[in-house]
A and B are shown apart, each in its own frame.
Chain A
Amino acid sequence: MPGRVLIVEDDDDLRDNLALLLELRGHKVDTAQNGQQALSKIGKLGPPSLIILDLMMPGMNGWQLRAALLRNPDLASVPVVLLSGVADVQEAARELSAVDHLKKPIDLDKLYKVVDTYC
C-alpha cells in the first residue's frame, strides 16, 4: 500500500499540479499552504511517509515547520524533501536534515524518484 505524501507549498498552481502529478502516478497526496496547516493536517491524519516542504511561505515558514517537526519525537523521523527557489537550497537541506532537495523549477525525474523511494 503506497504511503502518503504531504505537500507544503504556498503557490496554489504549483501545489495543485504537484499533487495531481503524484496522484496520477498512484500516490496518496495531502496538501497544506503553510506550516500551521501542515501541522493540523498531520494532527488529523497522522504522520505522512514523506513531506515535500517549501521554505518561503507566509505564516509559519518551512524553517519553522521543520523545527517544530524535529521537536516532536513522533514526527522527527518523517523524511523531508526541500522544494525551494532559494539559491543555496542544497545547504539549507543539509542544515535542516532533509533527505533531499528539489530546486525550482523542479526536475520531475528527480521528484518521482524521491517520492518513489519514500512512499
Chain B
Amino acid sequence: MSPEITRLQSLVRARILIVEDELIVAKDLQDGLTAVGYTICGTASTGAVAVRRAQELQPDLILMDIRLRGGMDGIEVARQVRESADVPIVFLTAYADHETLERAASIGPYAYLLKPFDDRELQITITMALCKHRAFAEKYGRLESVAQLSLFALESGDPKAVAARAMEVVTEALGVELAGVLEEQPDGTLALRPELARHFSATDLYFLGTITSLVATTKKRATAEAEARTAYQTAQLAADAVRARDEFLSIASHELRTPVAALKLQIETLRELLAPHAAVVDDRIAQRVERATMSVARLARLVENVLDISRIKLGVLALASDEIDLADVVREVTSRHEDLAKSAGCDLRIATEPVRGTWDRVRIEQVVTNLLANALNFAAGNPIDITVEPVGDDAARLTVRDHGDGIEAHDTARILGRYERASSARSFGGLGLGLYIVGQIVEAHGGSLEVEGGRGVGATFTVTIPRNGRRSA
C-alpha cells in the first residue's frame, strides 16, 4: 500500500469537534459526517464549553459556528483554542461582513464555509482543511527536526552520534521503518539508496538531502578539526622542544663560563710562570702550553657563540649603540688575532678608510672576530684581505676575503643558516655558529651579509650596514 493512500484513510478517520449553538443544526452535522466515516468526538454549544472540550478531547479538526450564545463568539473561541493547540478550524457562518471576515482571518482559519452548504461541500472543505493542516504540520515538523539536528551537530560535533540521530529523525518524519533506506557511504556519511529514490516525493527527497548533507558536513568538520588539532599539537610539541633546547643551551653555556675562565687562567699562569725560564724549559712543553692557550681561546669562543645563539633565539639581542669608527674596530680585532694568524700561516692584509657610524661596538667586534676566525679556520696557509670603506654617505662596507678552498655556489645561500657549514663535519671543527651570529647582528643593525666565491677562488664575506645602525621599521 502506498503511503499516499494510508494518509487519505487517516484523514477520513479524523476526530471532529462540533461547536454550534443550534442543537438541530449540530445534530444534522453530526449525522451527515458520521455517515461518511468521520468520528464526532464531541459537541459544544457555548464558547466556554468549546474551549474546555477542545483541550480535553484533542480533536483533529473543529467545525466552528461564529455566532454563539453567551459572551464569546466562535472567533474568540478559536483564538483561545489555538493558543494551546495547533488544530485546524473550519468556520461556519451565514454572515460574511467585512469586519467578521477580518477577525476570522487573523486567527488563521483553514476554511470558511458560508451557510447554507450541502454535505458534499462540507466533506470536501473538511478534507482540504485536514490535508492543508497535515502538510503544514509535516513541513513545520521537518523544519524543526532539521533545526534540532543542526543544533545537535553543532553541540556534539561527533559524526557517529549525528548520523545515528539523523536516522531517528528520518524514521520519525517519514513515518515508516526507514533504517534500511539510508546507507552508509564509504566516506562514512549517509545517503539514500539510489534504487529507492522513485518511492519518495520531491519534498521527501529534499528533506532527506538536507539531513544527509548535514551528516556529511559534520563528518567533514570533525575531520578538519581533528587534523587542525593534531597539527597544533605537533607544532606545540616542536615549539616546546625548541624552547627546551634553547633554555638548555643558555644554562649550559652560562655554567660553562666559570670553568672555562678558570682553565684559561690556569694556562695563562703556566705561561707566565714558564716565561722567565724559557731558555731551560723543554721546547715541547712551551709548545704544548701555546697550543693549550689557543685551544682554550677556541673553547671560550664556542661557549660565547652558544650563549649568543640561545639569546638570539630567545629574542634578547639588544643593541647598545655608540658612535664608533668601523676601521678602528677592525684594526683592534685584527691586532688581537695576529698571533693566531701567524700560527695559522695567514698573512692579514688590511686596507681601511675611516667610517663612523652608530653601532654596538661589542657586537660589531664580534662580527669582525667571527668572520676573521672563519677565514683562519677554513683558509689556513693563505693570506686574508680585510677592507673597510664607506658606501655613499649612509652606509659602511666590511669585506673579509680568504684564499682557501672557497665555497661551492650552491652552498653560499645556506652557509649563513644556523649551524650550517660548507665543509663536511669531519674536516673542520667548530659548531658553525659564528656566521649565523654575524648574520643576526648585521640584521639587528639593519644591514646585510653576503657571501660569494666558487670552489678554488676563496670566499668573500661582505657586510653592509647603515651608519645609523637602526633596524628599519
Contact indicator A108/B261 (Cβ below 8 Å):
no
- Asked if A106 meets B272 with Cβ closer than 8 Å, knowing A85-B254, A85-B258, A87-B311, the reply is no
- Asked if A104 meets B265 with Cβ closer than 8 Å, knowing A21-B272, A87-B307, A87-B311, the reply is no
**A11 at interface (Cβ–Cβ under 8 A)?**
yes
Q: B262 touches which one: A13, A87, A103 (CB < 8 A)?
A: A13
* A20 to B262 alpha-carbon distance, docked (Å): 12
**A14 at interface (Cβ–Cβ under 8 A)?**
yes
Contact indicator B265/A18 (Cβ below 8 Å):
yes
Contact indicator B311/A106 (Cβ below 8 Å):
no
Contact indicator A14/B268 (Cβ below 8 Å):
no
The residue on B at minimum CB distance from A24 is: B272
Q: B265 touches which one: A13, A87, A90, A109 (CB < 8 A)?
A: A13
The residue on A at minimum CB distance from B276 is: A24
A85 partner residues in chain B, CB cutoff 8 A = 254-255, 257-258, 261
Contact indicator B258/A90 (Cβ below 8 Å):
no
* Interface size bracket, B side: 20 to 34
Contact indicator A86/B254 (Cβ below 8 Å):
yes
A10: min CB distance to chain B, Å: 9
**B300 at interface (Cβ–Cβ under 8 A)?**
yes
**In the complex, per-residue mask of A6-30: 1 if CB is within 8 Å of any chain B CB, else 0:** 0000010110011011001000000
B412: min CB distance to chain A, Å: 32
* A87 to B266 alpha-carbon distance, docked (Å): 23
Contact indicator B268/A11 (Cβ below 8 Å):
no
- Asked if A21 meets B268 with Cβ closer than 8 Å, knowing A85-B254, A87-B307, A87-B311, the reply is yes
B263 partner residues in chain A, CB cutoff 8 A = 13
**A2 at interface (Cβ–Cβ under 8 A)?**
no
A21 partner residues in chain B, CB cutoff 8 A = 265, 268-269, 272
In the complex, which residues 231-276 of chain B have their Cβ closer than 8 Å to any Cβ of chain A? Answer: 250, 254-255, 257-266, 268-269, 272-273
B362 partner residues in chain A, CB cutoff 8 A = 90
**A105 at interface (Cβ–Cβ under 8 A)?**
yes
In the complex, which residues 72-87 of chain A have their Cβ closer than 8 Å to any Cβ of chain B? Answer: 85-87
- Asked if A104 meets B258 with Cβ closer than 8 Å, knowing A87-B311, A90-B320, the reply is yes
Contact indicator A105/B269 (Cβ below 8 Å):
no
Contact indicator A105/B320 (Cβ below 8 Å):
no
Contact indicator A106/B265 (Cβ below 8 Å):
yes
The residue on A at minimum CB distance from B255 is: A85
B304 partner residues in chain A, CB cutoff 8 A = 105
**B303 at interface (Cβ–Cβ under 8 A)?**
yes
Q: B254 touches which one: A24, A87, A106 (CB < 8 A)?
A: A87
Contact indicator B257/A105 (Cβ below 8 Å):
yes
A55: min CB distance to chain B, Å: 11
* A90 to B296 alpha-carbon distance, docked (Å): 23
A17 partner residues in chain B, CB cutoff 8 A = 262, 265-266, 268-269
B303 partner residues in chain A, CB cutoff 8 A = 105
B258 partner residues in chain A, CB cutoff 8 A = 11, 14, 85, 104
B257 partner residues in chain A, CB cutoff 8 A = 85, 103-105
B192: min CB distance to chain A, Å: 69
The residue on A at minimum CB distance from B299 is: A105
Q: Which 10 A-B pairs have the closest CB atoms?
A: A85-B257, A17-B265, A13-B262, A105-B300, A104-B257, A104-B261, A105-B261, A14-B262, A105-B260, A17-B269
Binding site for A on B (CB under 8 A): 250, 254-255, 257-266, 268-269, 272-273, 296, 299-300, 303-304, 307, 311, 316, 320, 336, 362
Q: What are 18 A-to-B residue pairs whose CB atoms are below 8 Å?
A: A14-B258, A14-B262, A17-B262, A17-B266, A17-B268, A17-B269, A21-B265, A21-B272, A85-B257, A87-B311, A90-B320, A103-B257, A104-B257, A104-B258, A104-B261, A105-B303, A106-B264, A109-B336
Given A13-B259, A14-B261, A106-B261, 16 more A-B residue pairs with CB atoms under 8 Å apart are: A11-B258, A11-B259, A11-B262, A14-B258, A20-B272, A21-B269, A21-B272, A24-B272, A85-B254, A85-B255, A87-B250, A103-B257, A105-B257, A105-B264, A105-B299, A109-B336
